[in-house]
Structure 1
Amino acid sequence: MNRILIIAPNWIGDAVMSQPLLATLKAHYPHCQIDVLASLWVAPIYRACIEVHQVIEAQLEHKQLQWGLRKQLAKQLEKNQYDACYVLPNSLKSALIPWLANIPLRIGYRGEMRFGLINIALDNPRKINRPPMANHYLALCNALVHSQEINVNEPVKPTLNISSTAKESVSAQLLVAGIDKRFIYVLCPGAEYGVTKRWPAEYFATLAKQLISHEPNAQIILLGGKGDHVLASSIQSQADHLPQIHNWCGSTSLDEAIALIGMSKVLVSNDSGLMHVGAALEVPQVAIFGSSDPHHTPPLSNKAKVLWLNLPCSPCHKRECPLGHLKCLKDITPATVLSTIQTLH
């Protein structure tokens, strides 16, 4: 096996959890070149994976066929003469490029009527029985590695590496902002999925004030994408615009966000992509779960503490609370999160 292509998933957390697959492939095929085709959104995750030779960025959009772009990419990739391709998303369109590129071995899970496009297909477990996502991706290794079965039930831990360029960029921004990097607490209030994954903004505000009260040198950085900027501004307002609270949502690249999380004393987040980044960097963290299932997408780190109430109505996996009360998140108090943070030291 000389060259392997990975078709990356579309979400940051899923991308992080695919790293053990890359590491295992590299261990079995140490001289193999592993390239990743990724959207602009998740490409930084693979730049932080030491197993990856080249990240091929593409302007691939959610729920868009983009037939012309896919044909163009396939034509370019065919020149690389890949021996195999692992297609991590379950969609039909994600399997088109390796098929059009005539890659002989196209490995993935069965899904969305892609018979023939995937020619080495594994049964996709039902969601109720699905293993943790990192193990789910790792199981694809067994489609090719026949000499030694890989135990996909053993816990696996993703690992990321921070680029020196991103670290230098963040250090410069901290210096300009007058933030002492020794006392950084990163709070990530966003979650792409919806409100049932987002701990209330007023709780983040209360927690921020409590952290500053307990540690006067604390610097709170609210981190997320552009879509989280208004949410973070609301948290600042509810925290009385304390000067130690900084809204960096939408102000950093993902490469820089990875570096900033790696510098932090503690990360507090919802079940989100940045939660998985923190786990892969082994940062002490508190992960707050509401409508989702920490058994399927846990932060895979010994330094992570999960707060999940396991109510009879959860996990519901709904974007809005079907019962209208959002107790799965509202009953996790700022005092509980603060006391959990204090156990991390």
Structure 2
Amino acid sequence: MKPKILFIMHMPPPVHGAAMVGQYIHDSKLINGEFDCHYINLTTAKNLQDIGKVGMRKLFDFFKLLRKIRHEVKVVKPQLVYVTPNACGGAFYKDFVVVQMLKRLGCQVVVHYHNKGVVTRQDRRLDNALYRRFFKDIKVILLSECLYDDVKKYVKRDNVFVCGNGIPSASIESFVSAPFDAAFPEDKIPHLLFLSNLLISKGVVVLLDALKILKEKGSRFACDFVGGETVEMDAAMFQAEVVKRGLEGMVVYHGRKYGKDKEAFLNAADIFVFPTFYHNECFPLVLLEAMQHRLPCVSTTEGGIPGIIDEGKTGFLVPKYNAAILANKIEFLLSDSAMRQRMGEAGREKFEKEFTLEVFEKRMAKILKICV
């Protein structure tokens, strides 16, 4: 008989990195073929804006979730329970209750982190005590070896597995020149692409500052910003920042794009730039998408990103918040098309080797077999 596994994980909606990976696991023919799989959605948020908020409705939903988990454990009697918890804050306290209940029910637990922040709270007396109980007698899956420092106070390295995320391989058609309503003429000006919501912590302003430096140095470029508006920055606020730096005509915000519309921007780009300093950034799937499309990537040393980008081979890693160094690395790529092509090809090779959905599924199935 196949080993029984109960997956308690985030799945869409809302759509975010951890939820998408949860959906990939849920839909995986390999994982569902190797194990007798049962699924519970850990999400209590209705949309992205609802994440992190506390209210009576969410509290009621959480108690419903606990009852559902208890019932499923008693009926299924899983040999392993897989959980995707939050690392810190109020969401951790919720997930702490879930994991402790599973332990009391006699379950073997493996937790898969898509976020970080344990190290930022471990010196608080309450959190330290909770972390010691939380991590006792469980296995941990991390997205990158770089992230072990976040939990090493509580987890021995022998109890940690590393499983980088993967994404579906784009169809051949998506790499063929697609209709692209570009705001710039079809000349040889290199296109930079930023693909994320308009959040300060994703590096929007840092990138605009770097582009101002490049313009003042005489660099020729066009930069497309693709992603959703946020409370921090909407389209009007973004345009005001563009005007303040004199970047009109060189920088254009296109809003949120999906599917073929998003693929068109990836196809049209020459360089992918993602100067994030988001405190919860672990393993940005947008970097995998860029590598899949043979784009050299310029990003930061945040989270597990150093495990994605090979410095000087598939792109560049720059210090967080540093617009001058970011501009310098972009300038290298703008001035050398051969370097862009070499890095893009190396990125595509690494994607095929490490970050396809098939590779992820095989790696995850292997880890689950060890944990059962």
Q: How does 1:76-95 map to 2 (within 5 A)?
A: 76=68, 78-79=71-72, 81=76, 83-90=80-87, 91-95=92-96
1:225 counterpart = 2:228:
yes
TM-score with structure 2 setting the length: 0.52
Which of 59, 67, 74 aligns to 2:59? It is: 67
Q: Is the 8 A contact 1:38 1:57 kept in 2?
A: no
1:2 counterpart = 2:12:
no
Q: Is the 8 A contact 2:226 2:254 kept in 1?
A: yes
Which of 241, 246, 270 aligns to 2:275? It is: 270
State the partner residue of 1:185: 192
How many angstroms apart in 1 are the aligned matches of 2:198 and 2:10? 20
Question: Between Structure 1 and Structure 2, which shows a larger proportion of helix residues?
Answer: 2
Q: Residues 334 and 299 from structure 1, CA distance in 2 versus in 1: closer, same or farther, beyond 3 angstroms?
A: same
Q: How does 1:207-218 map to 2 (within 5 A)?
A: 207=214, 213=220
Count of matched residue positions in the alignment of Structure 1 and Structure 2? 283
Q: How does 1:32-181 map to 2 (within 5 A)?
A: 32-33=36-37, 35=39, 37=41, 39=43, 61-62=51-52, 64=54, 66-76=58-68, 78-79=71-72, 81=76, 83-90=80-87, 91-97=92-98, 104-108=107-111, 112=127, 113=130, 120-121=137-138, 131-133=145-147, 152=162, 157-161=164-168, 174-175=180-181
State the partner residue of 1:334: 327
* Deviation of the 1:267 alpha carbon: 0.9
Which of 298, 309, 320 aligns to 1:287? It is: 298
* Deviation of the 1:162 alpha carbon: 6.4
State the partner residue of 2:351: none
Could you tell me which amino acid in structure 2 is paired with residue 121 of structure 1? Answer: I
Extract unaligned runs of 5+ from structure 2.
342-372
Q: Give the share of equivalent positions with the same residue, in percent.
A: 7
Could you tell me which amino acid in structure 1 is paired with residue 82 of structure 2? Answer: C
Extract unaligned runs of 5+ from structure 1.
42-55, 144-148, 310-314, 316-327
Could you tell me which amino acid in structure 2 is paired with residue 221 of structure 1? Answer: D
How many angstroms apart in 1 are the aligned matches of 2:38 and 2:148? 18
Q: Residues 332 and 226 from structure 1, CA distance in 2 versus in 1: closer, same or farther, beyond 3 angstroms?
A: same
State the partner residue of 2:364: none
How many angstroms apart in 2 are the aligned matches of 1:58 and 1:234? 25
How many angstroms apart in 2 are the aligned matches of 1:189 and 1:208? 23
Q: Is the 8 A contact 1:18 1:158 kept in 2?
A: no
Q: Is the 8 A contact 2:202 2:274 kept in 1?
A: no
Q: Is the 8 A contact 2:195 2:225 kept in 1?
A: yes
State the partner residue of 1:30: 34
Q: Residues 12 and 285 from structure 1, CA distance in 2 versus in 1: closer, same or farther, beyond 3 angstroms?
A: farther
Q: Is the 8 A contact 2:44 2:62 kept in 1?
A: no
Q: Residues 30 and 92 from structure 1, CA distance in 2 versus in 1: closer, same or farther, beyond 3 angstroms?
A: same
Which of 223, 227, 247 aligns to 2:253? It is: 247
* Deviation of the 1:188 alpha carbon: 4.9
TM-score with structure 1 setting the length: 0.55
Which of 195, 203, 209 aligns to 1:202? It is: 209
How many angstroms apart in 2 are the aligned matches of 1:208 and 1:161? 37
| Greater radius of gyration (CA) | 2
Instruction: Give the secondary-structure state (helix, strand or coil) at the position aligned to 1:107.
Output: strand
Q: Residues 300 and 140 from structure 1, CA distance in 2 versus in 1: closer, same or farther, beyond 3 angstroms?
A: farther
Instruction: Give the secondary-structure state (helix, strand or coil) at the position aligned to 1:306.
Output: strand
Instruction: Give the secondary-structure state (helix, strand or coil) at the position aligned to 1:104.
Output: coil
Q: Is the 8 A contact 2:297 2:309 kept in 1?
A: no
Instruction: Give the secondary-structure state (helix, strand or coil) at the position aligned to 1:132.
Output: helix
How many angstroms apart in 2 are the aligned matches of 1:96 and 1:240? 50
Could you tell me which amino acid in structure 2 is paired with residue 284 of structure 1? Answer: L
How many angstroms apart in 2 are the aligned matches of 1:100 and 1:40? 18
Supply the RMSD in Å over aligned alpha carbons: 5.7
